[in-house]
Amino acid sequence: MRVEDLDTPVLTVDLDILEKNIRYMAEHCRELDIGLRPHIKTHKIPEIAHMQLAAGAVGICCQKLGEAEVMAAAGIKDILITYNIVGKQKLERLTRLAKRVNLTVTVDSSYVAAGISKQAQEDDCEVGVLVELDTGGARTGVQSPKEALKLAEEILKMPGLNLRGLMTYPSHRRAKPFIEETVNLFKKRGIPVEVISGGGTGLEEVSKEIGCTETRSGSYVFEGPKRISVPENPPNPETCALRLVTTVVSTPTPNRVIVDAGQKSLTLFVNFFRPRPPPPYYGYIVEYPEAKMYGMSVEHGHIDVSACKHRFKIGEKLSIIPVHQGMTLNLHDELVGVRKGKVEVIWEVAARGKIR
């Protein structure tokens, strides 16, 4: 089967680009002498995670417990969950998982750490722990090196926990003094720092510079070495692996075509924009870059083709590079792997929707 034979809308991945991106990041991190721990929330597919591990990754990173369960079931043994695990139901699942794999979680409060400790004692297991530092992300994390030390000392007294080190996101140069001070405080108290985990695709060199031992890069697998941050860095067909293949279902005017993929197929990602982004940042039309996807309704994609010489016809197929490839993938049950126009593999998005 070839791409043009697929029913639409369908999400595809160019396997040559995917494999190139995986190789690039593995080699890049080897050259930097920093461990690569891919963040699988981008792809949610065990087969791709195994490809990353085969290329040299030290383990994987998950954002949610449900993702980690899927990856463990697929035979992956080293997992970091960078999320505060709260609540009895999740804690019971966490300790079950800890008995099967080398599991580490991040915490930023004694409340979260105590909950994990209590469950680990009940279930007779050990859970690795990293103290999360807020070094400018303004999300989760302790707010100072002294707070990090205080939490670490509390963790050391909690049975069932193995304090392994520190974690921060994103990696920025401004984090270096914060991390250095925290590490010095730990060393003065005799607290080992086995792991310092940084993160962010494109920030691997910074992670190394600020003292991290590993980097949690994720979006590179689909987007390439530099994360898409439109309009400054729009999608690049040479490095972006995903394509949402769509069909033209209406040509209501000479300047507008409608395709069969809207908000339920293609994520509208506007985090960095106020007000909403200008075209073409709802999606990049591979065959006709001059075409501008200026909007989406629930099941329709709206494309301005006024700058195109091509006369579009109903039934014609177009390929769209999503602006946020990981969020788009989470809308689809399957990902179709394509090489040189031919379908080679169909992967289940096994961790799709694993938000708990």
Q: What is the pLDDT of residues 106-138, one digit of tens each?
A: 999 999 999 999 999 999 999 999 999 999 888
pLDDT value, residue 279? 47
pLDDT value, residue 167? 97
Share of the chain above pLDDT 90, in %: 87
3-state secondary structure of 149: helix
pLDDT value, residue 294? 87
Long-range contacts (CB closer than 8 Å, 24 or more residues apart) made by 294-299:
296/262, 296/263, 296/266, 296/268, 297/262, 297/263, 298/262, 298/263, 298/264, 299/260, 299/261, 299/262, 299/263, 299/264, 299/265
Q: What is the pLDDT of residues 53-78, one digit of tens each?
A: 999 999 999 999 999 999 999 999 99
Helices 88-98, 65-73: axis angle to 10 degrees equals 30
pLDDT value, residue 324? 85
Residue of 338 and 269 predicted with greater confidence = 338
Q: What is the pLDDT of residues 127-179, one digit of tens each?
A: 999 999 999 888 999 999 999 999 999 999 999 999 999 999 999 999 999 99
pLDDT value, residue 229? 66
Do residues 76 and 186 both lie within one domain? yes
Phi, psi of 226 (to 5 degrees): -115, 125
Q: What is the pLDDT of residues 36-48, one digit of tens each?
A: 999 999 999 999 9
Q: What's the CATH code of the domain at 24?
A: 3.20.20.10
Rounded to whole angstroms, the Cα distance separating 57 from 336 reads 24
Residue 9 lies in a domain: no
Do residues 143 and 99 both lie within one domain? yes
DSSP string, 279-302: TTTT-EESS-TTSEEEEE-SS-EE
CA distances from 34 to 26, 43, 165, 198, 307 (A): 10, 22, 15, 10, 46
Do residues 183 and 245 both lie within one domain? no
Please state, rounded to an integer, the average pLDDT across all residues of the chain.
Answer: 94
Nearest to 18 by CA among 294, 337, 331, 350: 337
CA angle 11, 12, 14 (to 5 degrees): 155
**Tally of domains within the chain:** 2
Do residues 218 and 286 both lie within one domain? no
User: CB neighbours of 66 closer than 8 A, spacing ≥ 6?
Assistant: 351, 354, 355, 356
Do residues 218 and 260 both lie within one domain? no
Do residues 211 and 271 both lie within one domain? no
Do residues 84 and 137 both lie within one domain? yes
Put the strands of the sheet holding 161-168 in their side by side order.
35-36, 214-216, 195-199, 161-168, 127-133, 102-107, 78-81, 60-62
Residue 84 lies in a domain: yes
Rounded to whole angstroms, the Cα distance separating 114 from 337 reads 44
Rounded to whole angstroms, the Cα distance separating 26 from 19 reads 11
Mean pLDDT (whole number) for 292-319: 95
- Residue-range definition of the domain harbouring residue 176: 15-223
Nearest to 162 by CA among 199, 117, 203: 117
Do residues 163 and 253 both lie within one domain? no
Where a domain ends, among 194, 223, 252? 223
On whether the pTM is more than 0.85, the answer is yes
Q: What is the pLDDT of residues 196-255, one digit of tens each?
A: 999 999 999 999 999 999 999 999 999 998 777 666 677 889 999 999 999 999 999 999
Query: Is 93's pLDDT higher than 50?
Result: yes
pLDDT value, residue 225? 86
pLDDT bucket at 269, cuts 50 / 70 / 90: low
Rounded to whole angstroms, the Cα distance separating 281 from 263 reads 14
Do residues 239 and 263 both lie within one domain? yes
Query: Is 273's pLDDT higher than 60?
Result: no
Phi, psi of 198 (to 5 degrees): -110, 175
Do residues 199 and 311 both lie within one domain? no
3-state secondary structure of 233: strand
pLDDT value, residue 117? 98
Residue 6 lies in a domain: no
Nearest to 133 by CA among 196, 191, 91: 196
User: CB neighbours of 282 closer than 8 A, spacing ≥ 6?
Assistant: 266, 268, 293, 294, 295, 296, 301, 323
Do residues 238 and 302 both lie within one domain? yes
Going by DSSP bridges, is the β-strand pair 317-321/242-253 parallel, antiparallel, or unpaired?
antiparallel
